[in-house]
Structure 1
Amino acid sequence: MAADLAGRADRVKTPFAFKARRAVIGLPYVWLLVFFLLPFVIVLRISFAEMEGARTAGFHLGSYATLLSDEIYLSTYAQSLMYAGITTLICLAIGYPFAYFMARASATAQPLLLMGVMLPFWTSFLLRVYAWKGLLDAETGWVGRLLGHVHADQLLLPLGLISAPGQFMYTPFSLILGMVYTYLPFMVLPLYGTLAKLDLRLLEAAQDLGATPWQAFWRITVPMSKAGILAGSMLVFIPCVGEYVIPELLGGPETLMIGRVLWDEFFSNNDWPMASSIAVTMVLLVIVPLAVFNDSQAKAAAR
């Protein structure tokens, strides 16, 4: 009798659990469909239209033809990818040691360090970026005066990061500095989450086998933290490619990025098909390589 009741209970629970699991899995897909795929399809449709007065109509490939033939757009895409890549590498170089230190800190210090990383999010993103305009001023900003005092311009000028001695604002240097400052926490947090779960016994075993601390770091710690490196790099690189606020406030004429071009086409030139084609191309530049990489990783893991 008890066995029959238990069997009936299992049969009742199984459909309910299956439906609940489908609902939990399906909700994120519904969210992506409504708030990502559907708007993207609308933008994609506009990109193939042409302006007729204040409206878009018809089917036209002129926007993509212009995009692929105009050197301004091509150089802007190249600059956006370059600045995003440089920012990602600098964030990784700074964020990895800091995340490693956080993961090895005592249990009482880790929450304080984690709060220190997240503390900038308590302030408006726009205010934090705008504050760098004052900080980098060569006459009134303490960061600008400090850089001038240590003659940092002698190093930055040959690299092409500043346009003139003592001119730290509205340059590639100020742009990269602003993006590194803004997106560094997005690199640190995934790395910390990965490094905090690292099994320290593997490092002890490597040292017992004669590996130096440096060899153990490169052969065990870095490969084991690969997931955090990839996640942090994507979280930094993707928003940097389409960044608009930081180039607008801290960048100069030579730091034109695709986000500013997109804004100009939408709101200054009122050319919605051209702006939509720029947006679609920017999304594809990020999503297609990411999808190919994820597919290759899944096939490698299945072998």
Structure 2
Amino acid sequence: MQTTHSGTWIFTGSCSSQLGTVDVVTRYMAESGNYINEIHSFDDRVQGMFFLRIEFTPPSADFSVAHFNDEFVERAAEFDMTWALSPAAKKERVAILVSKYDHCLNDLLFRVRTGQLNIDIPVIISNHPDLEPLAKWHNIPYYHLPITPDTKLEQEQQILGLLAEYRIDLTVLARYMQVLSPSMCQQLDGKAINIHHSLLPGFKGARPYHQAWEKGVKMVGATAHYVNNDLDEGPIITQGIQTVNHALYPEQLISKGQDIERITLFNAVRYHVEKRVFLSGKRTVVFDN
């Protein structure tokens, strides 16, 4: 029997929409002495799915995941519910992919160092050598894997090899300026988060902020989403936005945009590792706090 230390645990569950879903979980929690600290639920009427997240504290230090599952399985069977248990203190292993921009990487490293983000970053991977000094300062292995159109698939296999070697739970594209192949997207489906600017209207191609300035843009923003084979169109986790005006020149727009990118990516990673994100079709259900 698997026994773990006491502390806060996270229960996540989903099933088809039906009466009594919350009751079957909370009743079991009460009967087994698990104190509920936080609870969120959502019924997606379009998908016909119900999602539930509960943070709870077990009654004693000999809390057993196996015992919980063995007792709860009969009750969950009536609802055809799938569920998972995770210790809130567990640190997921996160790989960071970067190119030359350092603002998102720097922010994530700072938040890990100051305890704002409960993850481990065992490896940083880049197609450029520029950010290796930053990785060395944090004593994190840095792999420079150059890429050309002819070596793209080989380079991606090297990345996947490193993700396996370092037992990575989540991959974060912190302004990694490469389009992933369909095969790579498929292998990272639901396990990789990307961040990109969200200018309204949209500006694609080179120097998007300069294009936005030329059009007199009044909003800058950022979107963090799961990676899939639709370029920059995966299920959205978080977004940020800020109004701007005519007084800002392109360099200032870039600075504003990068600030939003930092915060938006941080929140997306935090929500993911805290088990606050559920996929519902092509959309996400996000229980923020």
Normalising by the smaller structure, the TM-score range is under 0.3
User: Per residue, is there more helix in 1 or in 2?
Assistant: 1
TM-score for both structures, normalised by structure 2: 0.25
TM value normalised by structure 1: 0.24
Give the greater-gyration-radius structure (CA).
1
Higher strand proportion (structure 1 or 2): 2
